[in-house]
A and B are shown apart, each in its own frame.
Chain A
Amino acid sequence: MTSDDQWPFASHERLLRALREQEEQALSAAEATELAETVARLAAWQAPTPTPADVRLLLERLEPLLPMAPAQVGRVATMRAQAGWLWLLALRQIRLIPQALWLGSALGLVCLTLFGLVAPFQSSASALLFLAPLIAASGAAFLHSREADPALELTLTTPTSARLILLARVALVLGFDVLLTLAGSALVAAAHSQSAASLLALWLGPALLLSSATLCLSLLAGPLVAIASAVAVWGAQLIEVGAGLSLTFVVTITWLTMPLALGVACVFLVIALLCAPYQRRLA
């Protein structure tokens, strides 16, 4: 016997007591002794005991099955409720954002895709690089604008944080533009038997950077100033004016790498979120 599996009747007296307890009729002393001898022999049959590794393996199997602690259940429930509320908030913003914003982006990107399907690949890539970021930027310029969206004034009077509303709108509008452009790029790439990834690498970084910068500027100086600045800055980056005022598209911008674009876009987004609650209220 091991320490974990002790023979419980090491004492002869205890064994005799146990035997008498189980007998309905009184046992004679001789019979009790005989039975005790028989039972005492059982101790010779030992059983294996689990090793520490066995115990560890069992615990590894059992721990995932443990019920969640009430505090953990509460946390999960709260997180679910918050996620559900954010989902509903985003859904409601889809209806509140002016339809022109969705339609404008969709129309622009459909035209861009159609052009890409019929034009040579090089021209398609240039058009995507030039226009996709501008389409995304125009959406960003008007997504938190009182001029374009009179209902925004009322939305901002609700207890919901202005930053949260802005974040939901950015995610929706920018996500919509990126998904449409992604689909368009895939079609164009397939039509020209080229890699969709190379097209994506061309416009994604600039689109994120330009749209976040435009959003930031629209909050500080208004949407028209923001979109005009975006067109000017982006045009200056991509169009080279040659002799006799001839215009040439620069197909790639070598200085703008994806990590840099994402990093700067995040900085602009943070600035925009910080500015969002301090917009002047006109109603």
Chain B
Amino acid sequence: MGCSSDDDLDEELMARVAHGDREALAALVDRYYAPLLGYLYRLVGGDRALAEDLAQETFVRLLRPAGYQPGRACRPWLYAIATNLARDHAKSATVRRQATPASEDALLALHDRSPGPEEHALRAEDASRIAAAVGALGSDYREVILLRFYHGLSLAEIAEALAIPLGTVKSRLSVGVRRLRALLGETREEASR
């Protein structure tokens, strides 16, 4: 995803969806449900149920009349909707951070891939530390880091998705990565004590 042929395909799919094409909708869901779920899952700190709700709501917004403007890049637009939904949720008064950053889902996700219990435990611990460090970043930094490093968006796409200038994207990424390094260093030290 991310190259111009993908953008063309997205635009074609969106045009077909706007004309009520079910197959195009299925293709769009197939392309973006997993990435959006992953993005939202990490953005909301590992709450899978919430991430699923927000990802589904993102697609619902996508189908709203006059939502998508032809010619606009689809991928940044989808991430923009998802980000706004997550921000709105975070702002709502009822939100309480229930899930710890390293939720059970994060640990379960590793289960099938680990060859042995020892490596399994180590990887789960590492994932938990990273989730905690990413969660400790400010939301501005977390968003750019997730979009850039987990989803491979270009700097311009991130700027479009978050509606911020390109320079701001660069500075947030630069500061965010350094903060992350410091946070991961701290958690490593805590773990070694």
A residues whose Cβ falls under 8 Å from a Cβ of B? 2, 4-5, 7-9, 18-19, 21-24, 34-35, 38-39, 41-42, 44-50, 54-55, 58-59, 61-63, 65-70, 72
User: What residues of B have a CB within 8 angstroms of the CB of A58 in the complex?
Assistant: 29, 33, 56, 59
B178 at the interface (CB under 8 A from A): yes
B26 at the interface (CB under 8 A from A): yes
- Known contacts A35-B178, A41-B184: does B60 contact A62 (CB below 8 Å)? yes
User: What residues of B have a CB within 8 angstroms of the CB of A45 in the complex?
Assistant: 42, 106, 127, 130-131, 134
B171 at the interface (CB under 8 A from A): yes
- Known contacts A24-B170, A41-B184, A55-B30: does B56 contact A61 (CB below 8 Å)? yes
In angstroms, Cα B110 to Cα A59, docked, is: 27
User: What residues of B have a CB within 8 angstroms of the CB of A67 in the complex?
Assistant: 18-20, 63, 65
Mostly helix, strand, loop or mixed at chain B's interface? Answer: helix
The answer on a CB contact under 8 Å between B109 and A46 is: yes
Q: Known A-B contacts: A4-B38, A5-B38. Give 16 more (CB < 8 A).
A: A4-B34, A8-B149, A24-B170, A35-B178, A42-B134, A45-B130, A47-B37, A47-B51, A49-B37, A49-B38, A50-B34, A50-B37, A61-B60, A62-B59, A63-B22, A66-B21
Name 8 A/B residue pairs within 8 A (Cβ), A-sorted: A8-B152, A9-B152, A22-B173, A24-B167, A42-B149, A62-B59, A67-B63, A72-B20
In the complex formed, the residue of B with least CB distance to A5 is B38
Of B38, B109, B145, B180, chain A has the most CB atoms within 10 Å of the CB of B38
User: What residues of A have a CB within 8 angstroms of the CB of B134 in the complex?
Assistant: 42, 45
- Distance of B22 from chain A, by nearest CB (Å): 6
User: What residues of B have a CB within 8 angstroms of the CB of A8 in the complex?
Assistant: 149-152
Size bin of chain B's contact surface: 35 or more
In the complex formed, the residue of A with least CB distance to B102 is A45
- Distance of A15 from chain B, by nearest CB (Å): 8
Of A8, A19, A38, A63, chain B has the most CB atoms within 10 Å of the CB of A38
The answer on a CB contact under 8 Å between A46 and B106 is: yes
User: What residues of B have a CB within 8 angstroms of the CB of A54 in the complex?
Assistant: 33, 52
User: What residues of B have a CB within 8 angstroms of the CB of A50 in the complex?
Assistant: 33-34, 37, 52, 55
User: What residues of B have a CB within 8 angstroms of the CB of A24 in the complex?
Assistant: 167, 170-171, 174
In angstroms, Cα B110 to Cα A166, docked, is: 74
The answer on a CB contact under 8 Å between B127 and A44 is: yes
Interface residue ranges of B154-193 to A (CB < 8 Å): 155, 167, 169-171, 173-174, 177-178, 180-181, 184
In angstroms, Cα B36 to Cα A18, docked, is: 22
The answer on a CB contact under 8 Å between B151 and A42 is: no
- Known contacts A22-B173, A61-B56: does B123 contact A44 (CB below 8 Å)? yes
B136 at the interface (CB under 8 A from A): no
- Known contacts A45-B130, A48-B37: does B21 contact A69 (CB below 8 Å)? yes
In the complex formed, the residue of B with least CB distance to A47 is B38
B85 at the interface (CB under 8 A from A): no
In the complex formed, the residue of B with least CB distance to A31 is B178
User: What residues of B have a CB within 8 angstroms of the CB of A39 in the complex?
Assistant: 149, 177, 180
Which of B29, B106, B127, B169 interacts with A55 by CB under 8 Å?
Answer: B29
In the complex formed, the residue of B with least CB distance to A73 is B20
B75 at the interface (CB under 8 A from A): no
User: What residues of B have a CB within 8 angstroms of the CB of A63 in the complex?
Assistant: 22, 25
The answer on a CB contact under 8 Å between A38 and B177 is: yes
B7 at the interface (CB under 8 A from A): no
User: What residues of B have a CB within 8 angstroms of the CB of A18 in the complex?
Assistant: 148-149
User: What residues of A have a CB within 8 angstroms of the CB of B39 in the complex?
Assistant: 47
In angstroms, Cα B174 to Cα A171, docked, is: 77
- Known contacts A42-B150, A55-B30, A62-B63: does B109 contact A48 (CB below 8 Å)? yes
Which of B26, B110, B130, B174 interacts with A41 by CB under 8 Å?
Answer: B130
B77 at the interface (CB under 8 A from A): no
In angstroms, Cα B55 to Cα A66, docked, is: 17
Which of B34, B170, B178 interacts with A49 by CB under 8 Å?
Answer: B34
In angstroms, Cα B37 to Cα A2, docked, is: 12
The answer on a CB contact under 8 Å between A59 and B25 is: yes
In angstroms, Cα B180 to Cα A69, docked, is: 48
The answer on a CB contact under 8 Å between B177 and A35 is: yes
The answer on a CB contact under 8 Å between B149 and A9 is: yes
- Distance of B49 from chain A, by nearest CB (Å): 10
